[in-house]
Amino acid sequence: MPAEKLFFPPPESATVCRIMNRPSRRTLILAAACIVLAGLALLIPGYMADRLKGAMESAGFHVVSIGKIHTGLSGVAFENVALDQHGNSTIALIRAPLGIGAPASIFVSGLVLTGELGPAGVPVIDGWEFRPMAFPKQLRSVTLDSARLDLMTDAGGITIDAKGQMLTTGRKTRRIDAVISGNQRQLTFETRWDMQWNADNSWTAAGEIADFRLRLGNFEMTRAGGALNLQSGKDVAAPPVFKGRLNAGLVTFGAAVLRNAGITVDGPYRNLDVTISGQPYGNKSMQLNAEAKQKDRLTQVTAQLTAPDADLLFGFLLNVNKGFEAVGDVTGTPLTGLLLTQGNIDRVRRELSATRYTSLTLNLTGQSDALNGAVTANGPQPKTVSFDPQSPAH
């Protein structure tokens, strides 16, 4: 019998099994895709974490640690991000879409910044070194769902809340809409801001202020509201320029009361021109107008107080001085140069009483720490009496 006859032909089922065990091209592609996705799932979190730390470093946060990282088809999420080595400044959640390079959008929730108010009036934040803002070109929007600034000041701790959104509006400009508010005993306010940020780091901001209340020691301002505009040039180290007005129903400084007050500010920080006007005690026959101009750390003051009689005029002046004494030091107050002793006040009143007048006007001029003053009796024959006993009346 031939040798080939000794072997039986393979059954048909065996051929089918060999065909089924051979992987198809589609299966190989799918398996390769799964391997790639699995590799990306392992590599992307680390890559995105490095990208986040690099971005925070560029923003001035040098010590950044990430608690948890979650990735999915919709993007990546970072939880419990610490911005300083002590964990005082933190971010609860950051979300961004997956991709290579800078994301097109970022969502931030639970941002907490902790620090203190520096000597220049600029917040010093834990873990943060101030740097100019640098936005990647690909970044089109940033949503800030919630943020809180805990700031220690000479008057105590204050807390400021914020939320808003940044949108790219042109090749070199970005618009920021924000709501910034505070609600505590020392400071209560709500403001809405419309801000434009340019590629050269210059910016402008227009704010509406509502429900403003401030308590600092024996100073209090209530029922206030108004508008404030800020503008900053390319030099990020230069202070912004302020221009705005605040109307307050009531301002108190110790026992001195000013109603229907109007306050304006104009100029850069530390070189501001500030004016204040209002009715002392709400008396319509009394009017206060004052202006303070700052320049080279000196403040030039000009003020006028008009009253119908000497009791109201000197009563308000003495209450203002008592307010300064309560917060000042042993070296004196801005009104020390007026020699507000009982004997000197009696002398001024005695000389004024010899003249018929319809009203009295107190004029103050000079540096804030060395004011000069005189009272003018307004009438048919005006008469001016200086607080300086060596200056004759005229």
Reading the block at residue 96, the tokens are 């961004």
How much of the chain exceeds pLDDT 70, in percent?
A: 82
Give dist(CA 361, CA 378) in Å, integer: 7
From 149, 168, 187, give the residue that closes a domain.
168
Reading the block at residue 14, the tokens are 């065996």
> How many CB atoms neighbour CB 81 within 10 A?
26
Structural domain contains residue 142: yes
- pTM given for the model: 0.77
pLDDT of residue 132: 67
Domain, as residue range, for 387: 304-394
Give dist(CA 244, CA 238) in Å, integer: 19
Mean pLDDT of 87-97: 90
The answer to whether the beta carbons of residues 94 and 106 sit under 8 Å apart is: yes
**In terms of pLDDT, which residue wins out, 100 or 293?**
293
pLDDT of residue 176: 92
Which tens digit of pLDDT belongs to each residue from 187-221? 899 999 999 988 888 889 999 999 899 888 888 99
For residue 17, pLDDT over 50 is answered with no
Beta strand pairing call for 173-183 and 298-307 = unpaired
Mean pLDDT of 75-98: 89
Distances (CA, A) of 361 to 134, 276, 376, 391: 55, 17, 5, 18
Would you give the distance in Å from CA 63 to the centre of its chain?
24
Structural domain contains residue 98: yes
Which tens digit of pLDDT belongs to each residue from 268-310? 877 889 999 999 988 889 999 999 998 877 889 999 999 999 9
Ramachandran angles phi, psi of 36, nearest 5°: -65, -45
Question: Got the DSSP string for 60-75?
Answer: TB---EEEEEEEETTE
Q: How confident is the model at residue 181 (pLDDT cuts 50, 70, 90)?
A: very high
Mean pLDDT of 337-359: 89
Gyration radius (Cα) of the chain, Å: 35
From 122, 145, 168, give the residue that closes a domain.
168
For residue 359, pLDDT over 90 is answered with yes
Mean pLDDT of 326-355: 81
DSSP state of 332: B
Give dist(CA 89, CA 70) in Å, integer: 21
Structural domain contains residue 195: no
pLDDT of residue 38: 47
pLDDT of residue 233: 82
Q: How confident is the model at residue 239 (pLDDT cuts 50, 70, 90)?
A: confident
Reading the block at residue 47, the tokens are 């890559």
pLDDT of residue 222: 92
Helices (runs of H) and strands (runs of E) counted in the chain: 4, 19
Which tens digit of pLDDT belongs to each residue from 220-230? 999 999 999 99
Cα three-residue angle 114-239-147, rounded to 5 degrees = 30
Secondary structure (3-state) at 43? helix
**Per residue in 328-366, is it b (16+ CB within 10 Å) or e — as a string?**
eeeeebbbbbbebeeeebeebbebbeebebebbbbebee
Total domains in the fold of the chain: 2
Structural domain contains residue 66: yes
* Ramachandran area for residue 315 (φ above 0: left; ψ -120 to 50: alpha; else beta): alpha
Structural domain contains residue 311: yes
The answer to whether the beta carbons of residues 278 and 286 sit under 8 Å apart is: no
Give dist(CA 89, CA 103) in Å, integer: 23
For residue 37, pLDDT over 50 is answered with no
Which tens digit of pLDDT belongs to each residue from 121-172? 667 888 887 766 667 777 788 999 999 999 887 777 889 999 999 998 877 7
Give dist(CA 208, CA 181) in Å, integer: 11
Reading the block at residue 245, the tokens are 């007005």
For residue 363, pLDDT over 50 is answered with yes
pLDDT of residue 46: 66
Structural domain contains residue 263: no
Sign of the CA dihedral 137, 140, 143, 149? positive
Give dist(CA 292, CA 277) in Å, integer: 12
pLDDT of residue 43: 47
- The label of the residue with tokens 């004759």 reads 392
From 168, 198, 218, give the residue that closes a domain.
168
Structural domain contains residue 251: no
The answer to whether the beta carbons of residues 368 and 320 sit under 8 Å apart is: no
pLDDT of residue 29: 57
Beta strand pairing call for 141-153 and 105-117 = parallel
| Cβ-proximal residues to 297 (8 Å cutoff; 6+ apart), any chain | 270
The closest alpha carbon to 242, from 250, 230, 232, 227, belongs to 230
Give dist(CA 186, CA 226) in Å, integer: 19
Mean pLDDT of 175-183: 93
Give dist(CA 73, CA 269) in Å, integer: 48
Structural domain contains residue 355: yes
First-to-last alpha carbon distance for the chain, in angstroms, is 153
Sign of the CA dihedral 101, 105, 107, 112? positive
How much of the chain exceeds pLDDT 90, in percent?
A: 40
